[in-house]
Amino acid sequence: MRRLLNEAPKGFNYDVLGELTRATINATETCEPFAFDPYRPYYCPVCGEDAGAEGHISTILSLEYATGVTYDFVTWSHPECFERSIETDEPDRDLE
């Protein structure tokens, strides 16, 4: 299930896209590194630290804006940062 970020995402210059109203994250197994390489450097969107080392998980960060537009990004996240995010009852988002 999707998780709500406790704070604004880190490691992204998201404000250039508009007024951010909400950010969620979910784990994904469909976007592994060999299929799609997340944006570099590999900043964890939760803590902002490098998540490119071993021990990361593949995640989808969804940024929702005041205009109603949602952008999805494939990211690496630290498992502990993912677990600290607030659980929701919303289904996972995935790239189509």
- The pLDDT value given to residue 28: 86
93 belongs to a structural domain = no
Q: What is the pLDDT of residues 37-93, one digit of tens each?
A: 555 567 899 999 988 767 788 899 999 999 999 999 888 899 999 999 999 999 999
Tell me which residue range forms the domain holding 41: 3-87
- The pLDDT value given to residue 36: 54
Reading the block at residue 91, the tokens are 């289904």
Q: What is the pLDDT of residues 4-18, one digit of tens each?
A: 999 999 988 888 889
Question: For the chain, what is the domain count?
Answer: 1
81 belongs to a structural domain = yes
Q: Is cis: bond before 45, omega within 30 of 0? A: no
Q: Which one-letter amino acid corresponds to residue 91?
A: P
For residue 32, the Cα-to-chain-centroid distance in whole angstroms is 14
96 belongs to a structural domain = no
